[in-house]
Amino acid sequence: MKAVRIIVSGIVQGVGFRYFVRETALELEVNGYAANLPSGEVEIIAEAELLSLTHFVEHVQRGPRHAVVTYCDVQDIELPESFHGFSIR
């Protein structure tokens, strides 16, 4: 298992981005959460097998059709415990 923290910039709040991320995560068996940040960005914590996580990040970088992703910062992280499922915060 691998875990990443993704910060997504652009037009990513109020356009269904977090719901898109959750649906993609459920399809790819990725655990974690997506949350709006006060800065207008979205933070994603994601944990999965490497191949699933790679595909997940690719989808996040494109986003849904109403979103405009201008920047996506992906950093490897260590999680103190595993997530079960994927939630929106």
Kindly list the catalytic residues. 18, 36
Element (H, E) at 56: helix 50-62
88 Cβ partners below 8 Å, 6+ apart? 18, 19, 21, 22, 33, 34, 35
